[in-house]
Homo-oligomer: A and B are copies of this chain.
């Protein structure tokens, strides 16, 4: 096992009926809140009214910043920073999915500095301080509600970049699975793929050797995500399924499963970011293309970990190591298709002929993420060919 620090200070309040706790939690962080959210959906569902009522009951002043897009964009983040500064808000409350939470974090960081927050994303500047961030999660997938990560798309340059910083942990996140019952089958599928992808990067790319507990955490989470996804797709109102899915998605990317695994890479995310950045498809929809591609490419290199995964998470225990690995990749790809997430460019509406342009963006991101040594242009092209 490798050395690590583990410090996840976020307070999670989990369960049915917990939304009205937000006012009481929030008032510990000041008097004036910037309420960040997406489109009309939280108004339609009644969630917006519940949140406002609780904040008002706690005596808080509310400034709103609606209109966060899926794959949140830098210009909207800039606008949020402007409002936060002008209104001198004390903290930020994001109500929505990972996009809303990610943009809320970016606003909280931007509000405390004169630096362009984009410089934090591309590693040009370090965060010195942020406003406190609280969240109410409506779509479980990214894990942003309990982690130190944020991803933003710069729509001018078309770059989609994520980064990690200890200041980005939310103070409090409320997770009410019943709020997620309106998430449709498409986003349920994309979210499942997203959560699984967070587990895969560390699991498949670390070089730390024997990691029995970390591996079992990942295998157990993947199995539980797959089971609960199938339950939700059958019955969208199954509370146990929604709750299991929601908590698994949080645990998948809150630092628990990577504690002790040392350095690892993000090849599946590296290949995906340009897809959702350029074509505005859901992040999970892009990942269900790039995950099987990367795993297929690995089948020629080293099948040991893929075979272990196939056996422990998918119950594939017959045949040679290579055979188990091959069956495992095929089974995973089929499962992505079965739940309705695309596994090829064409299935996602991405023209095969764009492969060179997509590769240009990937090469650029590989440089920002320090992966350009391993992921050369040739290798990236080779991988994208497996996405066609």
Contact = CB atoms under 8 A, between A and B. Distances in A.
A1 B240 contact: yes
A11 interface: yes
Task: Kindly name the residue among A3, A213, A216, A251 whose own CB sees the greatest number of chain B CB atoms within 10 A.
Answer: A213
Interface of A: 1-18, 177, 209-213, 216-217, 219-221, 223-224, 227-228, 239-240, 243-244, 247-248, 251, 256, 259-260
Number of this chain's copies in the complex: 2
Nearest to A251: B213
Given A14-B3, A18-B3, A209-B240, A247 B260 contact: yes
Nearest to A8: B8
Q: Is the interface of A mostly helix, strand, loop or mixed?
A: mixed
Given A4-B12, A217-B217, A219-B220, 12 more contacts: A1-B14, A1-B15, A2-B15, A3-B17, A3-B18, A4-B14, A12-B259, A212-B224, A212-B228, A213-B247, A216-B216, A216-B224
Task: Kindly name the residue among A14, A18, A212 whose own CB sees the greatest number of chain B CB atoms within 10 A.
Answer: A212
Given A11-B7, A18-B3, A243 B221 contact: no
A6 B11 contact: yes
21 contacts: A1-B14, A1-B247, A2-B15, A3-B14, A3-B15, A4-B15, A5-B11, A5-B14, A7-B12, A9-B9, A12-B259, A210-B244, A211-B244, A212-B227, A212-B244, A213-B221, A213-B251, A216-B219, A216-B220, A220-B220, A247-B260
A217 B224 CA distance: 11
A260 B107 CA distance: 32
A315 B240 CA distance: 27
A5 to B, nearest CB: 5
Given A5-B11, A11-B5, A243 B260 contact: yes
B223 A216 contact: yes
A371 to B, nearest CB: 25
B13 A5 contact: yes
